[in-house]
Structure 1
Amino acid sequence: MTPIVLALNFALSFAGLAALALSLDRHHRDAFLSRPPKARARGLRVAGWAGILLSLAASVALEGWNFGPVQWIGALTGASLLVVALLSYRPGWLRPAALAALPLALIALPFALRG
């Protein structure tokens, strides 16, 4: 397990879970102070599942089937704890944090592929 692969996996998982959370009426209202339009909620749901699937694909591709799914579940658990903490205490910070996680994942990707 390399830390850079774990960081990539965590960032993708966090962005995906944050998008899924923001697709729900209650969390979207807490973060944006309005209900999500149906098209935005659908787009957030698709983006969320895509982020989670990309996270799984990255962990399996970079760590193999022996350890990849284990690392994926660990990163998914950590990312979900962070999403829940942000939704509980600072719901307005979830969107910027999720948007910041995507460039971090792009920065980590070349290092993960090299190592």
Structure 2
Amino acid sequence: MTAAALAVSLALAFSGLAALALSLDRHHRAALQTPAVRGRAKALRAAGWCGIGLSFAAAIACGGWAFGPVQWLGALTAAALAVVALLSWRPVWLRAAALAALPVAALVLPLALAG
């Protein structure tokens, strides 16, 4: 298991959990200062679950079935703590942080798969 593999899984889990949080009206209002429209909430919920699924797939691809799920649960826990911290401290930053995590995951993925 490399640091790059953990970074990919963590970034995807963070983006997925942030999307799930933003699909809730309370967090959507805090972060975006607008009420959550039903269609947007559904899209955010779908994107969130896709992000969590991709995080699991990246963990399995990089760590195998022996260590991948363990690494994924650790990344999921760390990502959840980061989302909760941002929602508590600076909710306006959550959307930007979640969108910034996606290119980071894409850039680090070849390193994770190679090593």
Q: TM-score range by the shorter chain?
A: over 0.9
2:13 aligns with 13
**1:103 is aligned to 2:103:** yes
1:34 Cα deviation after fit = 1.1
Q: Structure 2 unaligned runs (5+)?
A: none
Q: CA RMSD in A?
A: 0.5
1:112 aligns with 112
Mapping 1:42-81, distance limit 5 Å = 42-81=42-81
| Partner Cα separation in structure 2 for residue 4 and residue 112 of structure 1 | 5
1:62 Cα deviation after fit = 1.3
User: Runs (4+) of structure 1 moved beyond 4 Å?
Assistant: none
One-letter amino acid of the structure 2 residue matched with residue 25 of structure 1: D
1:64 Cα deviation after fit = 0.6
Question: Conserved in 1, the CA contact under 8 Å of 2:61 and 2:113?
Answer: no
- Percent sequence identity over matched residues? 64
1:35 aligns with 35
Aligned residues: 115
| Partner Cα separation in structure 2 for residue 106 and residue 31 of structure 1 | 25
Q: Structure 1 unaligned runs (5+)?
A: none
Deviation track 1:55-95 (CA, whole Å, cap 9, x = no partner) reads: 00110111111100000000000000000000001000000
